[in-house]
Amino acid sequence: MGEKRFMKGNEAIAEAAVRGGCRFFAGYPITPQNEIPEYLSWRLPEVGGVYVQGESEIASVNMVYGAAAMGTRSLTSSSGPGISLKAEGISYLAAAALPAVIVNISRGGPGLGSIQPAQSDYLQATKALGHGGFHAMVFAPNSAQEAVDVLYNAWDYAERDRNPVLVLMDGCLGNIMEEVELPPMKELKEEDIPEWSLSRRNGRDWQGNITPIYTELILEGLNESAGFMYKDWEENDVQVEEFMLDDAEYVVVAYGIASRVAKEAILNLRAQGYKVGMIRPITLFPFPKKSIRNLDYGKVKGIIDIEMTIPAQMREDIELQVLERCPVYEYGRSGGVLLDDEGVYEAIYEIVSGGENNG
C-alpha cells in the first residue's frame, strides 16, 4: 500500500510529479493552478531539484526546453492564457523531439476570461497546442487520484516518444480536496538519463545536435514519422472508461469533472428505468474513436455531450465517429459557471424522456 494523504488536487499532482522523477520546474503564477508552483518551490529543492519562477510564461517554457535537452524530467504548468503564451515553446519542444510535461488547469475563456473553472481549452489541447500541426498525448483525469497516477507516469510516455505530454484539468479538480494514495519515489540513476541528451555527450562530440530547425526534406521526414507515431497512439495508447453501455439507449460522453457530475445523473436515471450509459475519454488525444464508432446504433437513440463550455468543443470529434447514425445533443455551462447535479440531470432527462432538447 502506498502512502495516503488528504490533498488538494494541484498539490497532489505536484507531489506525484516529484515522485515520478521531475527535477525541474519553471512557470509563472496564474489562477487556478498557483498551488502547483507554490508546492514545488519548496518540494523540489528537498530532492535536489530546481524551481524557477520565470519572468513570464514565454521565458518559463524555454527554460523547460533547455532542461529537457539536458535529459532532466521537466515540468511547466499554467492555465489557458498562459498556455497560449507557451504555445510557441511547446511547438519547439515537439520540433526538437524533447520530452516534457505541461499541465493546464483550465479556466473560463476566451481571452483573459474568468478565474473560475471551465473546460474551454479542449480545442486548444487537442487541435492547436502550437503551430506546425504537431500533436501531444493529452490526458484528462477526473479525480485527484487519477491525476496523481497520470503525472507519475507522464514522463514515461514523453521519453518513449521524445515528445511533450499535456495534462488537461479544470479548476474544480485542481482545487478539490480528496484522499490520494501516493506512489513510491522513482529513483532515477545516471544511466536512466537518455543517451541523446546533452548531458551524456562527451567533449566536443556534437553529432546529432538537438535543434528545432531543419532543411525541408529532413523536416518532411520528421513530420511523416510523427504521423506514424500518432497512428500508433490510436492503436495502443487510448485510455477510456465505458460505463453501463451494454444495454444503453442513450450514451453520455464527458471527461474530467463533467464526467463525475454526469455519472451521478446517470445513476439516478437508471434507478428510474432509463437506460443511459457513458463513455469517458481519459486520453483526449488520442481520442477514443472506437468506443463511439462501435456502439450498437440499432439500439442507441442518441449521444449526449456534457462539457463545462458553450458551445461544446468535443462535439465535433464525437460526430465524426457517430456519422449521423443517431442525434448528438449537448449540454454545458460556460465562462466559469459550474455544472451542477440538478442541471445535468434535467438536461439528460429531457432528452431521454422524449422532451424537447437542445440538439
Residues 109 and 196 in one domain: yes
Q: Which of 132-136, 195-199, 281-285 has the lowest mean pLDDT?
A: 195-199
**pTM for the whole structure:** 0.95
DSSP H helices, the chain, are 9-19, 35-46, 57-69, 80-95, 122-127, 144-161, 171-175, 216-236, 256-271, 289-293, 315-322, 341-352
The total of structural domains in the chain comes to 2
Range of the domain at 277: 240-352
CA pair distance 267, 245, nearest whole angstrom? 13
**Of the residues 209, 236, 263, which one is the last residue of a structural domain?**
236
Whether residue 77 lies inside any domain: the answer is: yes
Cβ pair 14, 167 in contact under 8 A:
no
- Asked if 336 and 118 touch (Cβ cutoff 8 Å), the reply is yes
Domain assignment present for 155: yes
358 lies in some domain: no
Q: Could you tell me if residue 286 is inside a domain?
A: yes
For residue 208, the SS3 value is coil
User: Is 151 within the bounds of a domain?
Assistant: yes
pLDDT tens-digit profile of 142-174?
999 999 999 999 999 999 999 999 999 999 999
Question: What is the pLDDT confidence band of residue 190, given thresholds at 50, 70 and 90?
Answer: confident
CATH code, domain with 225: 3.40.50.970
Q: Are residues 216 and 284 in the same domain?
A: no
**What are 115-150's pLDDT values in tens digits?**
999 999 999 999 999 999 999 999 999 999 999 999
The answer to whether position 357 is within a domain reads: no
Q: Which of 236, 268, 296 is the last residue of a domain?
A: 236
pLDDT over threshold 60, residue 95: yes
Identify the domain boundary among 236, 262, 295: 236
CATH number for the domain spanning 268: value is 3.40.50.920
188 and 60 within one domain:
yes
What pLDDT was estimated at residue 357? 44
Domain shared by 148 and 277, yes or no: no
pLDDT tens, 40-57? 999 999 999 999 999 999
